[in-house]
Amino acid sequence: MDLKKIRNFSIIAHIDHGKSTLADRMLEITHTIETRKMRDQVLDSMELERERGITIKMQPVRMEFKSGGENYILNLIDTPGHIDFSYEVSRALKAVEGSILLVDSTQGVQAQTLTTLAMAREGGLKIIPVLSKIDSPLSRVEDVKEEVIKLLDCDPDEILLVSGRTGEGVENLLNEVIKRVPPPVETFVDTNSCRALIFDFKYSNHKGVIVYVRVLDGKISKNENLLFSVSKEKFTSLEVGTFSPEETPCEFLKAGETGYIVTGIKKPGIASVGDTITLLKNPLPELPGYMQPRPVVWASVFPEDADQFNDLKAALGKLRLSDSSFSYEEESSGSLGRGFRCGFLGMLHLEIVTERLKREFDLDLVITTPSITYEVTLNNGKKEKIYSPYFFPEEGNIKEVFEPWVFVKIITPSIYLGPIMQLLFVHEAEVGETESFGDNRSSLSLKMPLRELMRNFFDELKSVSSGYGSISYEIAEMREANVTRLDLLVAEEIVPAFSRVVSRKRVQEDAEEAVEKLHKLLPRQMFATKIQGKALGKIISSRTTQAFMKDVTQHMYGGDITRKMKLREKQKKGKKKMKERGRVNIPQEVFLKMMRSGDN
């Protein structure tokens, strides 16, 4: 098909603003999916996505649409809205010429909307502003229109109105995509080569690595000898095809099209997001790569059963092939055995990956308390990067510590500014500009330690703003930190998974909270178990879990009292011996609940 009849676009928005529902209606109207096969969130193929109602992995789809008597191909890439997955958005935007900026007409512009819009503008994409959920009784179309006009500096008639639920306005939106989004353009027109950009990939046990590409120059056919420009690895295209939305094989992919290539490669580290695929015998220059995702949250993952170590290693390798944004390396711990230190983009990302390991690979895991990277200078002048709280140096050995800070943007109704300011004070934030943002809403710019952002800040913000506050953030600079290590001891033994790095100002409070929480969660043992919080070189919090009690004299009716006394004394000695020799078995769900700040 002629390049002028192709449109490549994505949908960008804040979480829960109706992207997946709008994509469903587009698939219906273009007859890409038969009505009998239609279901909600059709582009969200993972079980976790359907359960949580969010998009985790983006999914490309090719639609055919007739407009003004002409046939067009529309290539849509649906993208995630949650802040942890903004790297997915950045990848999708490199493969398109235009974006639908979707804003919920019941909620208005949110913080993450600003982040994704900035990415799209940076890429020079054509922005189509669209208000969703116009059928809702809570819809505030005129107010939200004013917000969008102020944000984009656009005319009111440029803003389109749609309802993903009823389908109202969706056909008109598709016509406007054809009118407003420019068609793709080839860089090298007269050439006997080809060039494609990898924006995602997945792994298949049968086919190996399957790369998702946007073809920019030439055409890529089946059984062609190709080259990864960055890794310099050669391969043969075993199959090429498009997404309709299932993988549909075809003879070749032409410039301007989005599709997939089956590489047959079955080892990790060869395909990478942002790499360029080109013809082996006549290669074209490689394209600039994408923003490399940098892990901001670290947690160690251990198999509950030491015999499952190799299974965990294989599972992480396979998961890495379909999610290039998390990293892992092997480590060992005295009490937990061999495991892996993993880097994630945020707390939701951590939960998703560990949940996938559990469901898809049937693994029982122990996950340590999430932490961030600290740069520590010891008294002897040696500098170390600390990823795990358990390896944070002892009190007295440290000269200085540096930690990452983040730029944060919060959008909230103005009436909640007071409680939010109090919350920011508790979380050590430095508040910058505050500006009004239409419809009695305010936008706050601030900086805070990443450590504090992870300390239940998202949930607390939602709580004090009655759910109306939204947040986006990006990593800023490293700053000196006033922190120390807090250890939890169970039966006088440190449990590495529970160690954490906390602010010295809150160490007493955090120790008492952690000990109290573990005291509630830990099942009773056959002997009395002491739970202690240790920091600053001393025990600063303690609770004792009572032992199970059994009346060893219940079978005796009458008789000499000394017989009963002897039995009780024997039981007492047994408990003492058990306490000296016994180890406390901590179930996996206790580790998981200690990781999640909201669980009790």
Q: How confident is the model at residue 552 (pLDDT cuts 50, 70, 90)?
A: very low
Per-residue pLDDT, 107: 86
* pLDDT tens digit sequence for 475-510: 889 999 999 999 999 888 888 878 889 999 999 999
Structure confidence by residue, pLDDT tens digits, 269-297: 787 777 889 999 999 988 775 556 778 88
Write out the H or E segment, with its range, that includes residue 463: helix 457-464
Provide the mean pLDDT of the chain.
82
Burial of 425 (C-beta count, 10 Å sphere; 0-12/13-18/19+) = exposed
What is the value of pTM for the model shown? 0.73
> In the block, which residue shows the tokens 């490309």?
60
Rg (CA), the chain: 28
Tell me: the pLDDT tens digits for 381-406? 899 998 888 889 988 889 999 999 99
- The C-alpha atoms of residue 321 and residue 293 are separated, in whole angstroms, by 15
Does the pLDDT at position 39 exceed 60?
no
Of 364 and 35, the structure prediction assigns the larger pLDDT to: 364
CA 64 to chain centre: 32
Edge-first strand order for the sheet with 337-344 is: 327-333, 337-344, 297-303, 365-367
Alpha helices in 105-250 (DSSP H): 111-122, 141-152, 170-180
Of residues 27 and 528, more confidence is placed in: 27
d(CA 135, CA 139): 7
Helix (H) or strand (E) holding 589: helix 588-595
Which residue did the predictor score with more confidence, 549 or 472? 472
Q: Is the pLDDT of residue 172 over 60?
A: yes
Identify the sign of the CA torsion 274, 278, 280, 285.
negative
The model's confidence at residue 171, banded by pLDDT at 50, 70 and 90, is: very high
Q: What are the structural domains of the chain?
A: 3-180 (3.40.50.300), 195-279 (2.40.30.10), 297-367 (3.30.70.870), 375-480 (3.30.70.240), 484-595 (3.30.70.2570)
pLDDT tens digit string along 86-111? Answer: 666 676 788 899 999 999 998 888 87
pLDDT band at 581 (very low <50, low <70, confident <90, very high): very low
Q: What is the pLDDT of residue 87?
A: 64
How far does CA 178 lie from the centroid of its chain?
Answer: 32
* Structure letter (DSSP) for residue 202: E
CB-neighbour burial class of residue 156 (10 A; exposed 0-12, middle 13-18, buried 19+): exposed
Residue-wise pLDDT tens digits, 455-477 = 888 889 989 998 888 888 888 89
Q: Which of 344-358, 361-375, 427-441, 578-592 has the lowest mean pLDDT?
A: 578-592
C-alpha–C-alpha distance, residues 78 and 20, integer Å: 7
Dist CA 213 CA 261 (whole Å): 7
Cα dihedral: 359, 363, 368, 370 (round 10) = -30
Pick the more confident residue, 215 or 112: 215
pLDDT of residue 19: 79
Contact (Cβ atoms closer than 8 angstroms) between residue 159 and residue 129 = yes
Tens digits of residue pLDDT in 219-256: 999 999 999 988 889 999 999 999 887 888 999 999 99
What secondary structure does DSSP assign to 335-385, as a single string? TTEEEEEEEESSHHHHHHHHHHHHHHH---EEEPPPB--EEEEETTS-EEE
Indicate whether 153 pLDDT > 50: yes
